[in-house]
Structures are given as C-alpha cells and as structure tokens.
C-alpha cells in the first residue's frame, strides 16, 4: 500500500470539543498506518462564512479558502468529524464544504469534492452520538459528488470515552474507528491506483 495523504477537518473550534479529540485520534491512527495526516485546525485557520456576495465583490476566493481547496484537492481522502447543532451541520463545516464546492472565479478550477473519498465521524455526549448530523452531511456530500463510505463512527457518551491523554477508552469505538479508517484507506488506494 503506497502512502496516502489524509486531510482531517473538525466541524467546530470549541476548545474541549469531543469531535476535535476524535479527529486527533483518527489522524494518529492514519500516521501509525504509514500515511500522511494533514489536519486543518479551524481554530487557527478560520474560514469565513460562505457568502456568494463575498466571492462576487472580490472576483476571487479569500486566500484562506484557496489554501483550504488546495489541501482538499491534494488529499487522497478526507475525514470530517462533526458535532450536531440542532441535529444538523455546524456553520463552520457547512461553510468549508460550500467554499470547496464552488468553481474558482479566477482559475475556473471546478469544485474539489467530486470523486474525493470522504469518511464521516462524529461524537456527542448524548445517546445519538452525532448520528443525525451524519444524515445531513451525507446528503450534502452526495450533492457535491464526494465518494462516501458506508462505514462511519458515531460516538455516544463521548464525555466518558476519552482518557486524560485524549485516547479512546471505549474499546468498541476504537475498533469501529479502525474499521472505518481501514475502509477509507482501501478505497483511497483503489482510487489512486
């Protein structure tokens, strides 16, 4: 298996986010498998809320959006970790998806989601484990022609599922994440071949 680049995005900038912790575990597992993780930290690299007028006024994407699109395009696979906001997608993650789904007004490069292998994971302290946001995400990702895996991880009771070092303590969750990551890497490898 040749090395792959895996781009990771958490849908929230919240300091104590369980989804940021879950994504960090996933990226460590990617590295342990000999692949290159590339984590987009939404706390440091803040994407503006998607607004078509912003694009039209400038006649170009903001520089941070160009960087985001380049990272998605360069990746062999993408991991999205998102909490639920009222059973839906966070504004942060929705803006990321929307900006990357546009045709670049300067270069005319089309959207960068088409044909991209995407794994969706999520964590929540509630019993649903961010499962409802995954329904909304899958609908959006289908619209932008991303390749979605049937595997995913919905981590319920997330407040009880990490140790002080940020590692998963729930064995079922660690195994589920391993299975989902292996499926993502296998699909990305097929796409790259």
The pLDDT tens digits for 75-100 are 999 999 998 888 889 999 999 999 99
Phi, psi (5° rounding) for residue 43?
A: -75, -35
Q: Per-residue pLDDT for 53 more than 90?
A: no
Banded model confidence at residue 4, pLDDT cuts 50, 70, 90: very high
Q: Domains plus CATH for the chain? A: 5-192 (3.40.50.360)
Reported pTM: 0.94
Tokens of 165: 């070092």
pLDDT given for residue 131 in this prediction: 86
């Amino acid at each position: 298996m040749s090395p792959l680049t895996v781009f990771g995005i958490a849908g929230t900038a919240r300091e104590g986010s369980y989804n940021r912790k879950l994504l960090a575990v996933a990226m460590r597992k990617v590295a342990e498998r000999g692949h290159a993780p590339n984590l987009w930290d939404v706390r440091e690299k803040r994407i503006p809320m998607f607004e078509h007028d912003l694009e039209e006024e400038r006649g170009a994407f903001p520089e941070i959006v160009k960087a985001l699109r380049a990272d998605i395009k360069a990746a062999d696979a993408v991991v999205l970790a998102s909490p639920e906001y009222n059973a839906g997608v966070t504004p942060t993650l929705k803006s990321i998806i929307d900006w990357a789904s546009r045709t670049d007004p300067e270069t005319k490069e089309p959207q960068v989601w088409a044909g991209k292998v995407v794994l969706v994971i999520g964590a929540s302290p509630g019993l649903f484990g961010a499962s409802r946001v995954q329904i909304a995400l899958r609908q959006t990702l289908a619209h932008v022609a991303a390749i979605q895996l049937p595997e995913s991880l919905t981590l319920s009771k997330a407040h009880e599922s990490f140790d002080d070092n940020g590692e998963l303590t729930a064995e079922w969750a660690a195994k589920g994440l391993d299975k989902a990551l292996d499926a993502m890497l296998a699909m990305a490898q097929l796409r790259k071949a």
